[in-house]
Amino acid sequence: MTEAVVNDITLLLNEKFNLRVIPDSRPGYSGYIVPGDILLSFCIFLKTELGFDYLSSVTGVDYFPEQRMEVVYHVYKTAGCPVFCFKTTTDRENSSVPSIVSVYPGAEFQEREAWDLLGIRFEGHPDLRRIFMWEGFNGFPLRKDWHEPYFEEDFKPLKSRWPDGHGFRAEDSNHFHDNIELPAGFNPDSFTPEDEEPLYKTLLGSLGGEKGLKTDQIVVNLGPQHPSTHGVFRMAVVLEGETIVELKPVMGYLHRNHEKIGERNTFIQNMPYTDRLDYITSMSNNFGYAITVEKLMGIKPPERAEYIRVIMAELTRISSHMMNIGFMMNDLGAFFTPALYGLEERELILDIFEAVSGSRMMCNYFRFGGVFKDVSDTILAKIKALVENRLPGKIDDFDRYLTNNEILMSRCIGVGVLTREQAISLSTTGPILRASGIKHDLRKADPYSIYDRFEFDIPVGTHGDVYDRYKIRLEEVRQSLRIIKQALKDIPTGPIMTGKPQYMVRVPAGESYGHVEGPKGELGYYVISNGKPNPFRYHVRAPSFINLTSLAKMSVGEKIADVIVILGAIDIILGEVDR
Q: Does 79 map to a domain?
A: yes
Q: CB neighbours of 271 closer than 8 A, spacing ≥ 6? A: 286, 289, 290, 364, 366, 367
Residue type, 250: V
Q: Does 506 map to a domain?
A: yes
Give the confidence band of 1 by pLDDT, cuts at 50, 70, 90. Answer: low
Q: Does 242 map to a domain?
A: no
What's the CATH number where 112 sits?
3.30.460.80
Q: Which of 123, 153, 188 is the last residue of a domain?
A: 123
Give the confidence band of 295 by pLDDT, cuts at 50, 70, 90. Answer: very high
Domain enclosing residue 90, as ranges: 3-123
The backbone torsions φ and ψ at residue 141, rounded to the nearest 5 degrees and listed phi first, read: -70, -10
* pLDDT above 90 (res 217): no
Q: Does 499 map to a domain?
A: yes
- Can you tell me the distance from the alpha carbon of 511 to that of 29, in angstroms, rounded to the nearest whole number? 5
Q: Which of 91, 123, 155 is the last residue of a domain?
A: 123
* pLDDT above 90 (res 267): yes
Instruction: Provide the Cα torsion 112, 535, 273, 498; round to 10°.
Output: 140
Q: Does 75 map to a domain?
A: yes
E-strand ranges in 9-91 read 22-23, 32-33, 54-63, 68-76, 84-91
Q: Does 160 map to a domain?
A: no
Q: Distance of CA 250 to CAs 130, 225, 339, 355, 539, Å?
A: 10, 12, 27, 39, 21
Q: Does 159 map to a domain?
A: no
- Can you tell me the distance from the alpha carbon of 55 to that of 67, in angstroms, rounded to the nearest whole number? 27
pLDDT at residue 349, as a whole number: 95
How many separate helices (H) and strands (E) can be counted in the chain?
Answer: 20, 15
- Can you tell me the distance from the alpha carbon of 434 to that of 427, in angstroms, rounded to the nearest whole number? 12
DSSP secondary structure string, 430-484? THHHHHTT----HHHHS--TTGGGS-------SS-SHHHHHHHHHHHHHHHHHHH
User: What pTM does this model have?
Assistant: 0.91
Residue type, 402: L
* pLDDT above 90 (res 539): yes
The backbone torsions φ and ψ at residue 22, rounded to the nearest 5 degrees and listed phi first, read: -120, 150
* pLDDT above 70 (res 102): yes
What's the CATH number where 314 sits?
1.10.645.10
Q: Does 109 map to a domain?
A: yes
- Can you tell me the distance from the alpha carbon of 75 to that of 86, in angstroms, rounded to the nearest whole number? 8
Number of domains the chain is built from: 2
Q: Kindly state the greatest CA–CA separation across the chain.
A: 73
Q: Which of 123, 151, 176 is the last residue of a domain?
A: 123
- 96-98 and 84-91: which strand pairing? unpaired
Kindly state the helix (H) or strand (E) to which residue 489 belongs, with its residue range: helix 466-490
Q: CB neighbours of 110 closer than 8 A, spacing ≥ 6? A: 57, 58, 546
Instruction: Provide the Cα torsion 120, 123, 128, 132; round to 10°.
Output: -20
* pLDDT above 60 (res 30): yes
- Give pLDDT tens digits for 470-503: 999 999 999 999 999 999 999 999 999 998 877 7
pLDDT at residue 213, as a whole number: 55
